[in-house]
A and B are shown apart, each in its own frame.
Chain A
Amino acid sequence: MRRPVPSEQRLILALGGGGFTMEPANPLLDDFVLSLVPRSEPRILFLPTASGDTTAQINAFLDRFAERNCVHEHLSLFRLREADRSLREIVLEQDIIYAGGGSMRNLLAIWRAHGLDSLLVEAWRRGTVLAGLSAGAMCWFDAGITRSSGPPEPIAGLGLLEGSLTVHADGEPERLPVWLTHVRDGTLPGGWALDDGVALLFRGLRLERAVSSRPGAGAQRVDAIAGELVRHRLPVALLGEEPRAGLAGDDDAVRELRRVRLLRQGFSGRRE
């Protein structure tokens, strides 16, 4: 099992939407997740808890990762009988843990009921990359905006990252005004609003960069200063165009392979 790593080696990738459950024909964000680990075959664990462990999400995960250079598995807390190791063993041996979308309230409640929340914090401290979309992205922050009970409302997260996050800013526009209202009146800390297809990469507690799988998708930082909202648009790098997509220094062969796969899967979202 790994030892704790210094803060600057702790990575979290928070997706406002996108990845294998939302973009079956666009693997850019998922390939970016894999590229964050400097190993030829990273171990990646999918947590579909927020959806109630639907087979649809699990199948989408398999479709995406089964043929990529990784060792993949999923952990269904509703079908734990299938698991042959303790939760601790399963969680702490991963390079990447990827949380799916769904009900953030259920996600956190069920993680806590099984003690998974503290295992995930421990994994992060030991250098496992934490990734996820929607509920699976907001959960790492102090707070998010959930529709777990119907109408959008604030909800506390695990608090690994400071500030609040709201997701699907373009795809589910009813969340954003609720978030802005709460940031303005101080009931939520300032934070980020992400469109579908945009992901924020945090190194330790610091935002390192914003990347995207779709041209035109944006991200903004919002804070309340003296009761007024101050909004900044963040620069977002479109993936698939950069000379170096990842941080781990892929060799040319791996990059070439990913490029070929991209073309085969008919990705059509390239910027002119």
Chain B
Amino acid sequence: MEKDSSVLDDYALSLAGSERPRVCFLPTASGDADHYVVRFYRRFSAGCEASHVSLFRRDQGTGGVEDNLATHLLEQDLIYVGGGNVVSMLGAWRAHGLDGILRKAWRRGIVLCGPSAGSLCWFDQALSAFHGAPRPIRGLGLLPYSNCVHYDAEPARREEYHRSVAEGMRGGFAVEDRVALHFSATKLARVVSSRVGAAAYRVELRPRGGVRETRLPAECLLERRPESPSRVLEEPPAAPPASAPAVGVAA
């Protein structure tokens, strides 16, 4: 949900494989901030069946959506997780059993996506720098890698991530702002971006020690828009039958 561009959101929608996808927003990491929920509906309600789940307002029973979290979430085509504090979010999710529901959703082929905290959460490990020194945290572990976001926006991040990997965090993917990693099952399918010249990075431990970083240039979705506006929509990478793509967006 970048303020000035919807191409990453459109890309995520294109993966949902439905004319009018059912999209559910989880704003947990923001503490279910009202302004974020409003932004979601502004962006998604025109072309989608949009809904959201607030884990802080379940006592108010908004429209029956939250009566049964599992039923509602497992009916979606796309689950969009908002940014914020990943530690708070994972704590609240586990308390409501959302970790298990999201795992099940992924296995059933529901597309999972989100920026920042909404990206970190899908990985086995992640570098969280929300407060104080960046530190490794455990995510849901759908993707057997580590993840680091805002790689270009916060200069200390590269050094911290490299150090973490050198000290035993598993290897993974670092992502600049406005770049999204698209995973098909647990394999990286594409790196896409809403900005020219942006990239993600594969960061892993060398067999004999030291950290290797490989630049993965992102395909800019803006550039191709004018000449082939619907190419992405027409050619989503084939989803494997057993499990679905999860998209980690760092925006």
A81 interfacial by beta-carbon distance below 8 Å: yes
Judged by a CB distance under 8 angstroms, whether A166 is at the interface is no
Q: Which of B55, B91, B130 has the most CB of A within 10 A?
A: B91
A112 lies within 8 A of B91 (CB): yes
From 85 to 140 in chain B, residues with beta carbon under 8 angstroms from any chain A beta carbon are 85, 87-88, 90-92, 94-96, 130-132
Residues of A within 8 A of B77 (CB): none
Q: Is A258 an interface residue (CB 8 A)?
A: no
- Contact between A147 and B59 (Cβ–Cβ < 8 Å)? yes
A102 proximal to B (CB < 8 A)? yes
CA–CA, A205 and B32, complex, Å? 35
Tell me, yes or no, whether B84 is within 8 Å of chain A by CB: yes
Q: Give the interface centre of A81, A103, A147 by most chain B CB atoms within 10 Å.
A: A103
- The residues of B that contact A106 with a CB separation of less than 8 Å are 55-56, 91-92, 95-96
Interface residues of A in 58-88 (CB under 8 A from B): 76-81, 83, 86-87
State in angstroms the CA–CA spacing of A54 and B84 once bound together: 14
Q: Which of B61, B66, B92, B132 touches A110 (beta carbons < 8 Å)?
A: B92
Number of A residues near B (Cβ < 8 Å) is 28
Instruction: Judge whether A109 and B132 touch: CB under 8 Å.
Output: no
Known: A52-B31, A113-B90. A81 touches B131 (CB 8 A): yes
Contact pick for B33, options A52, A77, A80, A81, CB 8 Å: A52
Q: Which B20-58 residues sit within 8 Å CB-CB of chain A?
A: 29-33, 55-56, 58
Give which listed residue, A80, A86, A105, A109, contacts B85 with CB less than 8 A. A80
Which residues of the other chain, A, contact B92 by a CB distance below 8 angstroms? 105-106, 109-110, 113
Could you say which of A80, A105, A108 contacts B130, with CB atoms under 8 Å apart? A80
Is B2 engaged at the interface, CB distance under 8 Å to the other chain? Answer: no
B131 touches A149 (CB 8 A): no
How far is the CB of B129 from the nearest CB of chain A, in Å? 9
With an 8 Å Cβ cutoff, the count of chain B residues facing the other chain is: 25
Best-surrounded residue of A52, A54, A79, A112 (most CB of chain B within 10 A):
A52
A78 with B85: in contact, given A113-B90, A150-B61 (CB under 8 Å)? yes
Q: Which residues of A sit under 8 angstroms from B59, Cβ to Cβ? A: 103, 147-148, 150
B223 at interface, CB cutoff 8 A: no
Specify which chain B residues have a CB less than 8 angstroms from the CB of A50 in the assembled complex.
56
CA distance A141 to B61 in the complex (A): 26
- With both beta carbons as reference points, the residue of chain B lying nearest to A111 in the complex is identified as B91
Instruction: Check B91–A149 contact: CB distance below 8 A.
Output: no
Residue A53 at the B interface, CB < 8 A?
yes
Taken together as a complex, chains A and B put the C-alpha atoms of A53 and B28 apart, in Å, by 11
What's the Cα separation between A80 and B131 when bound, in Å?
Answer: 5
Residues 91-120 of A, flagged 1 when their CB comes within 8 A of B and 0 if not, give 000000000001101101110111000000
The reply to whether A148 and B58 form a contact with Cβ atoms under 8 Å apart is yes
Collect the chain B residues with CB atoms within 8 Å of residue A79's CB: 85
Closest-CB distance, A130 to chain B (whole angstroms): 20
CA distance A50 to B96 in the complex (A): 14
Contact partners of A78 in chain B: CB under 8 A: 29-31, 33, 84-85, 88
Min Cβ gap B6→A in Å is: 25
Give 5 new A-B contacts, CB below 8 A, not counting A50-B56, A83-B131, A106-B56. Answer: A52-B56, A78-B85, A80-B131, A109-B91, A113-B88
List of 3 A-B pairs having minimum Cβ-Cβ separation, nearest first: A113-B91, A52-B31, A109-B95
